[in-house]
Each structure stands twice: as structure tokens, then as C-alpha cells.
Homo-oligomer: A and B are copies of this chain.
């Protein structure tokens, strides 16, 4: 009986709420506002129309209460205990209200909700979709299997890095750095999300110079490192840049989700013949307040459906404000099936302050080597240079796979030993 849970007949969304009102009453206000209701009852909202179109409160679980409201501007009832009650509520909608359209899904499940006055907190934490969405949207085109095939990496994570400095390198500098990384045996290279198509390092020239280097190494070794070129931009530029990467023998494109947006990502997926490496820069604005916005499992499901092959999840012991348990939950959520017959799993990408030190913990947390890890300074700032940085990362993941601790493994692996001395 798992099928109905995965593929419900109605759109289902789970929210964490905080309210001074009776939580069921508050949940019904949410449901009304996001379907047939308005603030004042209107003549056309007949019982038949409500039955057909109203959102329903499916489940409500009351949690703890707090003395102070988390967010400003919330209203409170005239009577009551003065506390702000937290609860989890599940709403559902008939798909007939909107059709299987992802932009309209966003307007429905995450539209005019976050500002509703009865709530001092409102966060979308998960969602489940009818299979009509799987018929409309194809999901990841490559996923882990296609990524492994293109990159020629099997049975272990893809060891990657980010071209650093983030921005400011010329086309020639960039190609020279890629040359060193390829010589060092890297599996995966990505542009920083700040590297775009500026006059100081134009996209077309960068792709041509970098792919000349990559193709030369691929001819030499028989294995082509995957380079995720950041083509974030206007729609026509993204299509043209995709075509250039493909023509030059490239095997991956990168786009920033919050910068491109949903309609653009859907269109990019339809056009693309390459894996889409999805960057989540800007995500913090949607998630960092725990009682507002989105949690990653809900948010990432939409982008998986839209076709993101690789999804950034931050990293263990990262340099941002996110705790490890949140990173792990995000990474694991990417392998939960979206639909029974179309799981649409995405590849978790670990990054941010990643060095040799997080390999074992990451492997244990994810429970599988089906992931990409990217280290910026963790590779290029290695004391013996970039090639040693790549080697050390590979060694750290070999050690993790073998279940050997780093100091022991480093005894006969000098690149790893040198890395341990600085990271």
C-alpha cells in the first residue's frame, strides 16, 4: 500500500505552522485562501463549488507552543492563552483546479500563504503529487547512471572541484587551470556560480578553450572529465550556450535555479541533451528562518521534476550556517522516489569548505557512493599544487570506501598526508 502515498489522487503539501489561533481553524483559513475562498464569503462560492474545488485539511498534528511569535505582523484572537501553537498540517487540492503545471503548482502550494495574518510562522516542508505531473514533466534526463556513463566513473563518488578564484580569471587562465586539474586526474569540474558571460571571460571563448584542453586529456586517458559550464542567463543565451557546449564535446551544463526560475528550467530541460547541474545559490533566503519559506525536500522535488540531474546540498562541516543534520536530510531526500513508476532521483552535490576530512562522514551519511563532491580551496590550495590536491581528495575517498581512517591511510599516501597538514 505504498503506491497511494507516493502518487496521491490530489496534490498534497505539508506545512509547519505557528499560530495564536486554533490550529485547525488556522489550517482551514490556509485552505480557503489557496482555493475557492476569499476574506469575505462571496455569493458564487456554493456548496457544490466548494466540494469540487476547495482545498482540504487532510491531517493536523499539534506540536509545542512558544511564548513569542517567530515572525512579525501576525494577528491573535481576542481570547486564548496568549501562546503561539506550532503544528504540522497537510492540505490537499484537486488537480482539476490548476492542471499538471509546475508554475501554477508553485502559485498554489507556495503562493499567498506566507503572509497570511493568522500565522507567525509558515513553512512548506514536503509535498506529494499525482502522477499527472510525471506525465507532463520528464524529470532528470541523466541522473547518476547517465552521469557515471559520461564521466567514466563507477563504484565511487565523482571527485570534483570548482574553478577558483570564483571570478576574475581570463579564458587562458581558466584553460590552464583545467589543464592542471585534468592532469591531476579530476572527475568533475564546475564553474563557480559567479562565473557567467562577462566581457572579461566570455562564455563561448571559455568553453572552446576549456574543451580543447579536456578533449586532449580525454584522448590521452580515454576518460573525459565532466565540466559543468555555468550557462545561467536569458533563455536564448542558455539555449545557444548549451548548443556550443554540446558541439565542443562538453558533457554538462550548469544553471542557478533561483536565478533562472521554474519556467526557464523547464524550457532548458526540454532543450538540453546534457546533464543539468543545478546550483542552489540564493536558496538561503528561502530557508534560513526555520519557521518560514521552504525546506529542501519540498523545494528540491520541484526541480527534480523540472529535470535537474545534479542538486547542490551544501556539505558536512560546511562554512555556511547550515547544520550537518540538515545537509544529510537534504542529500537523502534526493533519492526518495517522486513517483512510483518515475522516481526521478537526483545526484546530491556536496560543496562548501569541503576537503579530505569530510569523505568518510559523507559516505556514511548518504549510505552510497552515488554523489558528487566538489572542493574549491580544498583542491587548489593543496601545498603541493593542484594535482596533489586532486590526488589527496581521491585518496581520502578511497580510504573512506575501504573503511580506513585518514591518518593511517596517509602513511603511504603523501598527497593525503600533505593535505592533512593544512586542512
Contacts and interface: CB of A to CB of B under 8 A. Distances in A.
A284 B194 CA distance: 26
A62 interface: no
Interface stretch (A212-220, A317-325, A331-339, A364-372): A317-325
Given A235-B263, A263-B233, A285-B286, A165 B107 contact: no
A234 B266 contact: yes
Given A42-B165, A262-B260, A99 B196 contact: yes
A52 interface: yes
A166 interface: yes
A98 B197 contact: yes
A198 B39 contact: no
A73 interface: yes
Nearest to A280: B112
Contacts of A353: 39
B266 A263 contact: no
A35 B234 contact: no
A61 interface: no
Contacts of A141: none
A234 B103 contact: yes
Given A101-B233, A111-B281, A200 B53 contact: yes
Contacts of A49: 165, 168-169
Given A36-B166, A114-B282, A98 B322 contact: no
Interface of A is mostly: loop
B36 A285 contact: no
Contact of A44 (B43, B104, B169, B321): B169
A66 interface: no
A94 B352 CA distance: 25
Interface string A88-112: 0000000111110111101110111
Given A194-B111, A197-B104, A38 B164 contact: yes
Contacts of A238: 263
A258 interface: yes
A164 B119 CA distance: 23
Nearest to A101: B233
A25 to B, nearest CB: 15
A285 B197 CA distance: 30
Interface string A182-208: 000000000001101111100000000
Contacts of A279: 107
